[in-house]
Structure 1
Amino acid sequence: MLTRYFKYGCYLLLGCMVIAGCKKLEDINHDPTKPTTTQPQYLLTGAEKSAMDVLYSGLQNGRIGMPYAQYWTGNDKANDSRYLLDEGINTTLWNNLYSISLHNLDQIIQINRAMPIASSTNQIAIAQILKAWIFQILSDAYGNVPYSQAFKLQENNLRPAYDDAKTIYASLLDTLAAQAAALNPAEGSFDAGDVIYNGNVAAWQKLAYSLMLRLAIRMADADPAGAKAVIEANYTKAMTSNADNAQFQYLGTAPNKFPYNESERPLSEFFVTAELVNYMQSVADPRLGIYARKAADSTYRGLAYGTSETNPNRLPPSEYSYPGKRIYAADMVGILMTYPEVEFILAEAAARGMATGDAATHYQNGVKASMEYWGVTNADSVAAYLARVPYVAGDWRNVIGSQKWLALYPQGFQGWFERTRLNFQQPGGDSLFHAPADGSLDQNVTYVPYRITYLVSEQQQNKASYEAAASAIGGDTKGTKLWWNKQ
């Protein structure tokens, strides 16, 4: 199976060159130094890997995504869980997605347009789909961001304007619809370099339609009619099983290990939160032993979210649960999107009155698919769990929200976006999330950040565009709600 993952240790840095010398899979552990001409397959590998590396890093995911979703809280440097944003971590997230991943994808498009080949239409479509995925993440994390002018470097446009986030959403939906239609499974795409789908055009089509559902459901409170139109027109063409999942399989050997793994040293920076552990224990969730590991006393014990390092009530670190061994495995996958998320989207859509089928059935399918994904396959066990967390139409926001949140683990950014969008609690309304136990260190937010603040470097180097964007969204603070967040 791993032979399909073409030399992805040889990825581009800043889209300038690729490293040659990888003739077969085992060569990815070498350190070749001979540069060669940029080729689309190298650019694609670089784009996929660099995006996953930063989205699943112990810095960006560990200190922004996972704590903001309230899956993890800090053991050391607990200030991240109290909303003191590290500017270096923020800068790397923005720069890596723009300067490496998006730049590489833009280069794939330009190369195929300049020198078209038989597979150019499919190569361009795949690059555009990945660009849409990344731009939604940027838009959902920051709000307005550079989009239409982001890659006009040939015009020396080093100070791009920020596009309106709602307008970006509309453009992304148009792009995904157009590229899904343009993809032709009868023609080739990438004969190498695609770690996610190995060039499978039909799989990329399903992903495009699934990403349209993600965009649409996220704007469901802000634009119900628009969300309804997109979902009803496209949901039958999205993922239908875990076989369709879009994920980047790391190899477990350097330099292609999962970006945050404990193959070389124990990881002790984060505990799972008491909020996660307590809720999973209350419903006897069989995934708990995968998401977390037992403390020294053989019990699961999370740390209250946002507890400072100096809190006198903190127990020794060995008394708390660290994230599960599989989550820290060197060959863990970087998740782009999975089938369980699609089912929860369709459940919510049905609960909102959209014509996507039965909400309870989609909800159950989502739970079952998540269990299957994590290896919980005993039918009786899954059925008993569903009986403990039944679908309740009048409480759909809490019921679907809490299970979708569990299914999105460890996708910190997606878990955070859904937490703020749905503003859900436990089924029945009891609190699931809490403000940081020792208080927020950001005067603009006490309960949960709604966005990440723009880079300090943007304030200095792209001042006019930054100021216009900050004014347009209502202020550059973590407490500013994004356009789709109406809860």
Structure 2
Amino acid sequence: MTKRIIKYSSAFLLAVSMAVTGCKKLDELNTNPNKPSTADPQYLFTGAQKATMDLLYSGLQNGYIAMHYAQYWSGNSRTNDSQYQLDEGNNSTLWNNLYRISLHNLDGLLKQNAQKAGQPGIANQNAMALIFRAWIYETLADTYGNIPYSQTFQVTTNITPKYDDAQTVYNAELDTLEAQIKILDNTQPSFTAGDVIYNGNIDNWKKLAHSLMLRMAIRMADVDKEKARKIIEAHYQGAFTGNADNAQFQYRNEAPNKFPFNDSERPISDFFVSSTLVDYMKSVGDPRLPIYARKAQGDTIKGMPYGWASSDKNRLPPANYSIPGTQIYSATMPGMLMGYPEVEFILAEAAARGFSVGDATTHYNNGVRASIEYWRTLTNSNNITDSIVQAYISRVPYNAADWKNVIGTQKWLALYPQGFQGWFERTRLKFNKPGGSPLFIAPVSGSIDPGVKFVPYRLTYLISEQTQNAVNYTSAAAAIGGDTKGTMLWYNKQP
């Protein structure tokens, strides 16, 4: 962390608070410059939620980085991203904004509430903030590996924090989540405003905490199976039980609260849906395909082979390839933090690994069905009938002998367009199509990064960290095995 991470957060927070809430008049914001005020905790919470979702669903971070690395999309005229050349501006925005805006807002909320400890609702507010914070730290650890954690926001004593081991961050946040589940009390108030995700609903925040623990536990299942088993068996019954529980940020069709990457005001031609996604969905008759992608020239959905440079003379003109679906680019597309289908796929995998969480086939079928029903409801696709859903499940049956490929493929499909989560699961499970034939391909026109031939496992640290936090950067790079995109994360290093 550098001084810059903290320096500009207050100005951005004010902008976010005004933009999202729309309820404070400008004259109400006039203050004595010699006695600066602080934003109310509810606005800090809104600001953290919106800033995080705007970033993780931006075309710059989700589109050019995560959706490419998950191989959901491929580039149009700008194909270097599909060939693993990382845009350092997009990378630095991801890191800096999560720290200096999202996490800093939550840190400010907790510090303000510390002055009101014991008052009704404060414990619940803090618990919700800490659950949301755990999700952000998990995302950072899954993206970069070792990260600043224990020494962040010590701005008066330490502006060059050390990097903590990513597994240590995981363990600490698992403890935090478990503690917040016990603290949350639905006999007490929480946020009366400011919580866009759950509107202050305490039971829903508990379910989210349980569900996030499942996600983190299954990621470590190949590294510490017994710990993963203990966590999942203890928490699965408190996790999401239906799509109504989904943790999502609902955008609105009005500026500046539209989904970050939408085509309501201008056409977007940056990305094509990959042939990896399209061809597999076609092969199994997936009813979600017309939602995930639009028809191209010739009235058909056609994917672009991944990482195919626009300079290649064999590539057809852009009109021949499909762009993402209208719902994906809708101004009101929800920003998903975590959904029920993911929980069911986690439990299917847990059951396949021998954990006591019920039947793998049942959880798998629930996950497939829940994903399709989510999209059917979101798009009002009445043509996707229950019989169509059941027929699809019959075409992609669970197979215990091939569980990694079967669950991995359907989970990957269900996570669209959560690019970061799709990418993390791709690298963690290393799955193929059911039966074992390859699903993913290397970039058709080759990788620009000599350290990555097939898929990046992480993003490199910011260039600025090499000079502004040099000692800790050097130590962190050495600890993970080198600051390259080809360096595997701690839970990727298992077979």
TM-score, structure 2 length as denominator? 0.93
| CA displacement at 1:33 relative to structure 2 | 6.7
Tell me by how many angstroms 1:18 deviates.
3.0
The 1:146–1:20 alpha-carbon spacing in structure 2 relative to 1, beyond 3 Å, is: closer
In structure 2, stretches of 5+ residues that fail to align are 1-6, 32-36
Structure 1 residue matching 2:192: 3-state secondary structure: coil
Number of residue pairs matched by the alignment: 475
Runs (4 or more) in structure 1 with deviation over 6 Å come to: 20-26, 28-33
Distance 1:108 1:382, change over 3 A: same
Q: Percent identity?
A: 59
- CA 1:34–1:310: 2 relative to 1, 3 Å: farther
| Partner in structure 1 of residue 14 of structure 2 | 18
1:154 match: 156
Residues 348 and 32 of structure 1: is their aligned pair in 2 closer, same or farther, counting only changes over 3 Å? farther
In the superposition, relative to structure 1, how do residues 23 and 96 fare at CA in structure 2: closer, same or farther (>3 Å)? closer
CA offset at residue 21 of structure 1? 9.6
1:47-102 per-residue CA deviation (whole Å, 9 max, x = no partner) reads 00000011000000001110000000100210000000000000000001000000
The 5-angstrom pairing of residues 431-450 of structure 1 reads 431-450=438-457
User: Which residues in structure 2 correspond to 1:261-410 (within 5 Å)?
Assistant: 261-375=262-376, 378-410=385-417
Please give the secondary structure, in 1, of the residue aligned with 2:257. coil
Q: What is the CA deviation profile of residues 91-134 of structure 1, one whole-angstrom value per residue up to 9, with x for unaligned ones?
A: 00000100000000111111111223211100110010011000
AA aligned opposite 1:73: S
Once the two structures are TM-superposed, the CA of residue 38 in structure 1 deviates from its matched residue by: 1.2
Q: Which of the residues 450, 456, 463 maps onto 2:463?
A: 456
Alignment of 1:49-448 (within 5 A): 49-116=50-117, 117-155=119-157, 157-375=158-376, 378-448=385-455
**Equivalent pair of 2:150/2:164 in contact (CA under 8 Å):** yes
SS state at 2:52 partner: helix
Structure 1 CA distance for aligned equivalents of residues 126 and 85 of structure 2: 39
Distance (Å, rounded) in 2 between the aligned partners of 1:56 and 1:26: 22
Shift of 1:15: 3.7
Rounded to whole Å, the distance in 1 between the matches of 2:453 and 2:25 is 45
The alignment status of 1:44 with 2:45, answered yes or no, reads: yes
SS at 1:404 equivalent: helix
Q: Specify the SS of the correspondent of 1:82.
A: coil
Contact 1:28 1:255 in 2 (8 A): no
Residue 3 of structure 1 aligns with which residue? none
Shift of 1:46: 0.3
Residues 263 and 33 (structure 1), Cα distance of their counterparts in 2 relative to 1, 3 Å cut: farther
Kindly indicate whether the alpha-carbon contact (under 8 Å) linking 2:405 and 2:435 is maintained by their aligned counterparts in 1. Answer: yes
Q: Secondary structure at the match of 1:175?
A: helix
Instruction: Give the superposition deviation at 1:22.
Output: 6.4
State the Cα distance separating 1:31 from its structure 2 match. Answer: 12
Q: C-alpha distance in 2, partners of 1:66/1:425? A: 18
Measured after TM superposition, the shift of residue 284 of structure 1 is: 0.4
Change in CA separation of 1:460 and 1:346 when aligned onto 2, cut-off 3 Å: same
**2-structure distance, mates of 1:200, 1:301:** 42
Letter in 2 for 1:395: D
Question: Is the Cα–Cα contact under 8 Å of residues 20 and 257 in structure 2 kept in the other structure?
Answer: no
Code of the residue aligned with 2:241 in structure 1: it is T
RMSD: 1.9
> Secondary structure of the residue that 1:18 maps to in structure 2?
helix
- For 1:440 and 1:20, the matched residues in 2 are separated by 38
Deviations 1:364-405 (A, max 9, x none): 000010011001651100110011100000000000000000
Q: Give the drift of 1:185.
A: 1.0
1:13, 1:218 → 2: CA distance? 34
Structure 1's 262 and 20: CA in aligned 2 closer, same or farther, altered over 3 A?
A: closer
Where does the alignment leave 5 or more consecutive residues of structure 1 unmatched? 1-11
C-alpha distance in 1, partners of 2:459/2:444? Answer: 21
Q: Which residue of 2 aligns with 1:7?
A: none
How far apart, CA to CA, are the structure 1 residues paired with 2:77 and 2:415?
25
The residue matched to 2:336 in structure 1 has which SS? strand
In structure 2, give the amino acid aligned to 1:272.
V
Contact 1:13 1:46 in 2 (8 A): no
Deviations 1:245-293 (A, max 9, x none): 0000011210111111101110000000000000000000000000000
1:5 aligns with: none
Offset of residue 438 of structure 1: 0.4
Which secondary structure state, in structure 1, belongs to the residue aligned with residue 137 of structure 2?
A: helix
User: Partners in 1 of 2:281 and 2:26 — Cα distance?
Assistant: 43
* Secondary structure, aligned partner of 1:222: coil
Counterpart Cα distance in 1 of 2:204 and 2:165: 31
2: CA distance, partners of 1:338 / 1:15: 31
Which amino acid in structure 2 is aligned with residue 421 of structure 1?
R
The answer as to whether partners of 1:21 and 1:32 remain within 8 angstroms in 2 is no
Specify the SS of the correspondent of 1:309.
Answer: coil
SS of the residue corresponding to residue 73 of structure 1 reads strand
- Secondary structure of the residue aligned to 2:266 is coil
